[in-house]
Amino acid sequence: MSANGAPKFREDILEAISNAPGVSGGEEAIRNLLAEYARDKVDSLEVDPMGSLVARIDPTPARRKAGGRRGPHVMLCAHMDEVGIMVTAVEKEGRLRFRRVGGIDPRILPGQVFRVGAGGLRGVVGALPPHLTPRNERDRVTAADDLYLDIGARSREEAEERVPVGTYAVFDTTYEAWGTTRKGKAFDDRAGCAVLASLIQRRPPVPVTAVWSVQEEVGLRGATAAARRVQPDVAIVLEGTASGEAPGAPPDEQSPFMGKGPALTVHDRTLMVHARLLSRIEETAKRHKVPTQWKRPGVGGTDAGRIAISGAGVPSAVVSVVCRYIHAPAAYLDVRDAQRTVTLIWHTLETLRKEWP
Amino acid sequence: MVESAVRTSADWLRYITSLPGVPGQEDAVARELMKAFGTVADKVERDRMGSVYGWIHGVGKAPRPRALLAAHMDKIGFLVRAIEPGGYLRVTEVGGFDSRTLPGKEVMIHSRPPMVAVFATRPPHLQKKGEADRPIQLEDLYLDTGRGEGEVRRKVPVGTMVTLRQSPVQLLGDRLAAPGMDDRAGVVVLLRTLELLRSKRPSWDVVAVATVEEEFGVVCLGARTAAENLCPDLGIAIDVSHGDMPGARDGDTVPLGSGPALSIGGNIHPAILEALKASAKALSMPYRVEPCPTGSGTDAMDIQISSSGVPTAVVGIPCRYMHTGVETVEPRDVDRCAYLLAHYLSELSLEWRSVEVLK
C-alpha cells in the first residue's frame, strides 16, 4: 500500500516488538528494541523515571531556517506494556500461582501456554481433564486465582531457582502474516508503538516528542508522568483498539472493523476528544483519501485521558489501528490499517505546522 | 534405517504429536507411521479400516501365538459445522473437550492449503456485565481465520478437520506438553517396543497396531476390527493415564515420572498384570497400579470382547491435563513403558495359555 508521501510503516518493528515480552512494569525488552529503532533518528532519547522512553525530534534545519511557522509541539504517545501475568507464589510441588496484570478474561487461561521471564522458559496453565470434572463444574468459570502455572518443576526449590516470585509471563504467541492479516500478541499497543517508531524514521514537519509509555494497562500511569515532563501543545495517542466484529452481533456493536482504516475516538471512559483537533484529523483523512471509521464511543480508555488533563490542559486525540481479540493470546490486525495510520498522522502533523490552533 | 536409532522418545513425541488426525481422518498420520514402523518392524501393513500394523516375527516354532499391542493414532479435534456470514466458522467436536479450555486458542484448519485460525473472544472492554462469569459453550464459540468470507467458503468445506495448534512445549525435567499426547505417546511406545524387540527376539509374534477411531466414543473401532482380523492370543493397550494435578483425587491419578501405570480391574487379565509387575521388578523399574473399577476406557475394552474373548492388559503413560492443548508427559515414562513391554513380551513362553482347563 502506498505511503502517500508519508513514511512507510515498518512491519519489521511490529514483528519484533510483538514477539518480545513487556508486561506492565516490566517493559525493558520493548524499550530496548524501540530505543534501537529510534537512536539514530532522533535528537534526544531518554528513559524517564518510570521507564517510559522519550524521544525528541525536530523538523529539519532547512525547514527551521526557512523562517516559516515552527508549529506546535506535538506529543505522540503509544504504550509499550501489554497484559500478562505475574508469578506470586511457588507451591511445594513446584507449581506457580499467579495474578493477572491488566484486563484478562479468566476464560482464556486454562490450557494456555506462557513464556515465563526473559529466558526461554515455558509454563502451561493446567486444566482438569473432562473425564475427572464433575458435570456441574463445567458450568462454572474457574477463577483466575485458582489456576496455576506448571513449568515442569518437581519441587519448590527447583521452581524458585528458575522463577523467582515477581517474574512476569506473557502469552506464548508468534507473529505471523497471511494476506493483509497479521497475527500476534500484544497488538494493544505494539501496533501503536510500531506506528510511532515508523513515523520518527523521518524528521517530522513539527517538533515532536515521541513517548513510548509504561503501565497503561494498570491505570494509564506512565503517560500521566510523561506528559508533565513533555508539556506538549497537542497530543495524539496511537492505539490498538478492539473491533466489535462477531457473527450475529447487532450492527451497531460490530464496529470498528479490521481493515477499514484508522479508528477515530470521539469519547471514551477517560476522554472527550478535543473537537478542533478531531475535525483537523478528519479533514486531513478526507484530503489524503485515508479511510477512517469511528471507534465505538464510550468504551475503554487510553493514555490520552491523562495527557489531556496534565498541566494547563492538552488538546488530545486518539487514533487507533483496529485489532480483533486484543487482551487475548492471538490478536489480528490488517497491515494496511497500520500504514494508513502512519499516513494520517504524518499529514495531520503537516497541517498542524501550517495552522494551529 | 539409521534414523530411528538416533531418535529419542522425546524426538518421536515432538514429531508424532505434530501430525493431524481426528477420528476417521487418520490418513496423514497413518502414512507417516507406515514409514516410522518400517524402520523398526519386519512387516508393515494397513488394514481396511485404516489401522497400521507393525509386525515382529517370533522365533518360536510355527504356528506361533500372537500378541497384539494397541495404541490409538487418532486425536481429539473438531470438524467444521457451518460457515457464518463474515466467514466465521462454527465447529463440532470429535472427542471430548472441556469447552472452557478453548477460548483464545489457535487452531489449524486442515483445508487445502491449511489455514490458521483462533477461537475468537470478546475483549473485556466490550463485554457485557457478568459475561466473564459464564463459560462459553462450544456451540457459541467460533473460529476466525482473518480471511475474507469468499476465500473461506471456497476453501473450507463443511466437515473439514480442525485441530488445536500448539507446537510441543519443552518444560523443565524433560517434560513435554502438546495436544495429542493422548495417544501419540502410546504410539511412540509401540515404536520403541518394536525397536527393542528387533534385537531381543520373542518366541511369539508381536503385532503393534496404531488404531483408528478410539476417540469417536461409540466403540474403539480400530482396536475391535484389528483384533477381529488378527485373532490375538493376548492384547495390551498402551494409553495415557491421568497424571497428578490439583483438583484430582488420589486414586484417579498417577504422578508424572512414576513409571508405567498398570491398570487393575475387570478389563485386565490378572496373569498378565502379575507378569508385567514381575518384569518391572526384574528391570528394577518403578510402576504404579491404577485402579480401573468399571473399565479402562481404552482400546483394551474392545480387544477383550473380540472373537471369543482375549486376555488383555493396559499399560499407561502418566499424562497431565488430558484432552487439552497442553497434555504433558515425561519421555522417561514412555521409555519405561517400552522397556517393560519388550521385557514382558520376550519372556512370554510358547506354553502360556489364558484358558484354564479345570477338568
Read off the amino acid at residue A27.
E
* Statement: residue A61 has pLDDT above 80: no
Of A110, A127, A152, the CB nearest to B172: A152
Would residue A55 count as lying in a domain? yes
Cβ distance of B166 and A113 shorter than 8 Å: yes
The three grid cell numbers given for residue A276, joined into one nine-digit string: 478542533
Which residues are within 8 A (CB) of B359 and not within 5 positions of it... i.e. 6 or more apart?
none
* Statement: residue A75 has pLDDT above 70: yes
Segments forming the whole domain that contains residue A111: 84-171
Report the DSSP pairing between strands B106-109 and B288-291.
unpaired
A142 and A244 inside one domain: no
User: For chain B, what are the domain ranges?
Assistant: 3-75+179-347, 77-164
Query: Secondary structure of chain B in the HEC alphabet?
Result: CCHHHHCCHHHHHHHHHCCCCCCCCCHHHHHHHHHHHHCCCCEEEECCCCCEEEEECCCCCCCCCEEEEEEECCCCEEEEEEECCCCCEEEEEECCCCHHHCCCCEEEECCCCCEEEEECCCCHHHCCCCHHHCCCCHHHCCEECCCCHHHHHHHCCCCCEEEECCCCEECHHHCEECCCHHHHHHHHHHHHHHHHHHHCCCCCEEEEEEECCCCCCCCCHHHHHHHHHHCCCEEEEEEEEEECCCCCCCCCCECCCCCCEEEECCCCCHHHHHHHHHHHHHCCCCCEEEECCCCCCCCHHHHHCCCCCCCEEEEEEEEECCCCCCCEECHHHHHHHHHHHHHHHHHCCCCCCCCCCCC
pLDDT at B357: 83
Of A215, A214, A198, A196, the residue nearest A53 (C-alpha): A214
Cβ distance of A132 and B122 shorter than 8 Å: no
Residue pairs between chains A and B whose CB atoms are closer than 8 Å = 190
Question: How sure is the predictor about A69, in pLDDT bands with cuts at 50, 70 and 90?
Answer: confident
Task: Report chain A's mean pLDDT, rounded to a whole number.
Answer: 95
The percent of residues above 70 in pLDDT, for chain A, comes to: 98
pLDDT at A2: 54
User: Domain B77-164, what fold?
Assistant: Elongation Factor Tu (Ef-tu); domain 3 (2.40.30)
Chain A: residue whose CA lies nearest to B100: A107
CATH number at residue A103: 2.40.30.40
Name the residue with cell 496534565: A310
A33 and A45 inside one domain: yes
Which residues are within 8 A (CB) of B277 and not within 5 positions of it... i.e. 6 or more apart?
B262, B287, B289
Contact B289, B262 (CB under 8 A): yes
Q: What share of chain A is helix, strand, coil (3-state, %, to 5)?
A: 30, 25, 45
Query: Total domain count for chain A?
Result: 2
Cβ distance of A131 and B101 shorter than 8 Å: no
Known active-site residue A93: no
Residue A54 C-beta-side C-alpha neighbours within 13 Å: 20
Would residue A1 count as lying in a domain? no
Of A302, A271, A273, A292, the residue nearest A337 (C-alpha): A292
Catalytic residue (one of A15, A216, A217, A239): A216
pLDDT at B358: 87
Name the residue with cell 509387575: B277
Read off the amino acid at residue A266.
V
Of B133, B169, B248, the CB nearest to A122: B169
* CA distances for B165 relative to A115, B77, B119, B181, B214, angstroms: 17, 10, 11, 13, 21
Cα–Cα distance, B276 to B295 (Å, whole number): 19
Cβ distance of B123 and A113 shorter than 8 Å: no
Of B182, B300, B293, B287, the residue nearest B241 (C-alpha): B182
pLDDT at A65: 66
Question: Chain B contacts of A332, Cβ < 8 Å?
Answer: 118, 144, 146
A95 and A219 inside one domain: no
Cβ distance of B133 and A141 shorter than 8 Å: yes
pLDDT in tens, A320-335: 999 999 999 999 999 9
A62 and A208 inside one domain: yes
pLDDT in tens, A219-250: 999 999 999 999 999 999 999 999 999 998 89
A222 and A323 inside one domain: yes
pLDDT at A8: 98
Chain B: residue whose CA lies nearest to A126: B321
Question: Chain B contacts of A131, Cβ < 8 Å?
Answer: 96, 242, 297, 322-323
Name the residue with cell 489401522: B51
Question: Chain B contacts of A104, Cβ < 8 Å?
Answer: 124
Mutate to test the interface with B, among A93, A97, A104, A107 (most CBs of B within 10 A): A107
A235 and A104 inside one domain: no
Cβ distance of A105 and B126 shorter than 8 Å: no
The residues with which A177 forms a beta bridge, in sequence order, are A182
What's CA A249's distance to the chain center, in Å? 26
Predicted confidence pLDDT, tens digits, chain B (359 residues): 445 457 899 999 999 999 999 999 999 999 999 999 999 999 999 999 999 999 999 999 999 999 999 999 999 999 999 999 999 999 999 999 999 999 999 999 999 999 999 999 999 999 999 999 999 999 999 999 999 999 999 999 999 999 999 999 999 999 999 999 999 999 999 999 999 999 999 999 999 999 999 998 889 999 999 999 999 999 999 999 999 999 998 889 999 999 999 999 999 999 999 999 999 999 999 999 999 999 999 999 999 999 999 999 999 999 999 999 999 999 999 999 999 999 999 999 999 888 888 88
Cβ distance of A127 and B100 shorter than 8 Å: yes
A209 and A74 inside one domain: yes
Which residues are within 8 A (CB) of B291 and not within 5 positions of it... i.e. 6 or more apart?
B251, B263, B264, B265
CATH number at residue A29: 3.40.630.10
* Statement: residue A3 has pLDDT above 70: no
Question: How sure is the predictor about A345, in pLDDT bands with cuts at 50, 70 and 90?
Answer: very high
Name the residue with cell 497413518: B30
* Statement: residue A1 has pLDDT above 60: no
Catalytic residue (one of B93, B214, B290, B330): B214
CATH 3.40.630.10 assigned to domain B3-75+179-347? The reply is: yes
Which residues are within 8 A (CB) of A140 and not within 5 positions of it... i.e. 6 or more apart?
B135
A298 and A249 inside one domain: yes
A108 and A137 inside one domain: yes
Cα–Cα distance, A344 to A286 (Å, whole number): 10
What sections of chain A are H helices per DSSP? 11-19, 28-39, 61-65, 156-162, 187-199, 221-230, 251-254, 275-287, 304-307, 335-354
The three grid cell numbers given for residue B242, joined into one nine-digit string: 491421568
Chain B: residue whose CA lies nearest to A297: B126
Contact B277, B271 (CB under 8 A): no
Residue that is last in its domain, among A126, A145, A171: A171
A78 and A108 inside one domain: no
pLDDT at B2: 43
Would residue A219 count as lying in a domain? yes
A115 and A250 inside one domain: no
* A349: helix, strand or coil: helix
Chain A: residue whose CA lies nearest to B174: A152
| DSSP string computed for A193-246 | HHHHHHHTTS--SS-EEEEEES-STTTSHHHHHHHHHH--SEEEEEEEEE----
Residue that is last in its domain, among A141, A171, A201: A171
Would residue A243 count as lying in a domain? yes
Of B102, B121, B177, the CB nearest to A124: B177
Which residues are within 8 A (CB) of A355 and not within 5 positions of it... i.e. 6 or more apart?
none
Read off the amino acid at residue B6.
V
Q: Report the gap between the CA of A132 and the closest CA in chain B (Å).
A: 7
Cβ distance of A246 and B120 shorter than 8 Å: yes
Instruction: Give ∠ CA A223-A227-A229 in degrees, rounded to 5.
Output: 120
A273 and A202 inside one domain: yes
Would residue A107 count as lying in a domain? yes
